[in-house]
Amino acid sequence: MALLRKTVLKILSAVNYYYRAVSVFHHAGKTVLRPAALVNFKENEQAFLTICAASFNLEPDYSRGMWQKEISVTKLPYAMLLGNSGAVVLHDKVVVESVLDQRRLSLSPAWRMPAFMLKKRKAGLYSSVFHFPWAETSNYHWFLDCLPRLVVLAQTVQEPLTLIVNANMPQFQFDTLNYVLKEFPHIDVAYIRKNEKWECEHFLMPSFVANNVSGYLPKEISSFLRNKILTGYRIDPKPPTRKIFISRSRASKRRIKNEVELLPVLERFGFEVVFPETLSYREQVALFHESRIIAGPHGAGFTNTFFAQNATVLELHPATAVKPHYFLLSKGLDLDYHYLIGSEADEKLDFEVSVEAFERKLQEIV
């Protein structure tokens, strides 16, 4: 029976099919850099998070406080890195912490999805921060899931290290990665393809910093990243004066059905209607850095509030899908966050916003 089980495991691992997982939370090779800390919320913030929790069937519920997870680096011997996901495999088990948590693991290409991958052995010290499929092209997951882990490595590892990254990363990811690494010559970069898996003699696994469904980052990490990226893009430190409305009218979902009715109100209050997807990433960073008020429907465009300075944020949500990601991002950055809830969403998450309520909200924040 034991021999049969071992044979089955070998066959399954040969096609990268993993049905078991392991946690390294108590691993002997772990170094804790910052212990877990409780983030508390004011009464009005708790009220908003209660609405968000109801939208997610109470998963997660941050209304009574959010635990900022401990920040750590774990050294693993002969760990396997999967190029199709960024997941780490140890003794034929997927390491849960390498894909954030159990929920992400169940959705990861590393979990119960057979894939033929070329195995390569690598001597030396390696690490990785990429996270598929979430951060493959996404700015939200790149800036809040991936780069914070790189900060953890850059600020703690002094010995020569090779960072493994996606071979086909988008230009904005390539650029911002290099801006962060510019002052860390001991960190080299190597590129892995999706059909490869690398067995690393020594592998350093940095913990994820942000929680699931949360853009909250500790100040020392967000400040470090912002400064590196703003400097890299050569963004002038201008006082924030612009008022922008992020339009999703050209998107395929999460659109405001009656956005055309909001346009006269926006014009009256001096807002620019912007389409971030039409701008270079440098232009997006500069736009948000220069903005005093940022408004719009929930969507990836709000990720760029990461580069705002002392901004007021107004996020519009459908009644049936109120999400806390950008409230928590704003909380970590000390931005003034406001929200407005519209109608129920349709199958594409499109919804309507009351013109009168929208105008009242703008009067409140402008």
DSSP helix/strand/coil, 273: strand
* Model confidence pLDDT, tens digit, residues 222-253: 999 999 999 999 998 889 999 999 999 999 99
* Model confidence pLDDT, tens digit, residues 13-44: 778 899 899 999 999 999 999 999 999 999 99
User: What DSSP element (H or E) covers 163?
Assistant: strand 161-166
Residue 282 has pLDDT above 70, yes or no: yes
Q: What is the CATH number of domain 242-365?
A: 3.40.50
The mean predicted confidence, pLDDT, of the chain is: 95
Res 237: pLDDT? 85
Pairing of strands 242-246, 66-68: unpaired
Residue 6 has pLDDT above 80, yes or no: no
Under 8 Å between Cβ of 149 and 209: yes
* Model confidence pLDDT, tens digit, residues 177-194: 999 999 999 999 999 999
Instruction: Name the pLDDT band for 70 (thresholds 50, 70, 90).
Output: very high
Kindly give, in sequence order, each residue whose CB lies less than 8 Å from that of residue 363, ignoring residues fewer than 6 positions away: none
Res 5: pLDDT? 65
| In the chain, domain spans | 8-35+70-212, 242-365
Residue 152 has pLDDT above 80, yes or no: yes
Instruction: Name the pLDDT band for 2 (thresholds 50, 70, 90).
Output: low
Res 14: pLDDT? 77
CA distance 113 to 19: 9
- Token pair recorded at residue 311: 């901004």
At residue 228's C-alpha, the angle toward residues 224 and 234, to 5°, is 145
Percent of the chain exceeding pLDDT 70 equals 97
At residue 318's C-alpha, the angle toward residues 316 and 322, to 5°, is 80
pTM beyond 0.75, yes or no: yes
Under 8 Å between Cβ of 295 and 265: no
* Model confidence pLDDT, tens digit, residues 294-319: 999 999 999 999 999 999 999 999 99
Res 129: pLDDT? 98
pLDDT (mean) for 95-102: 96
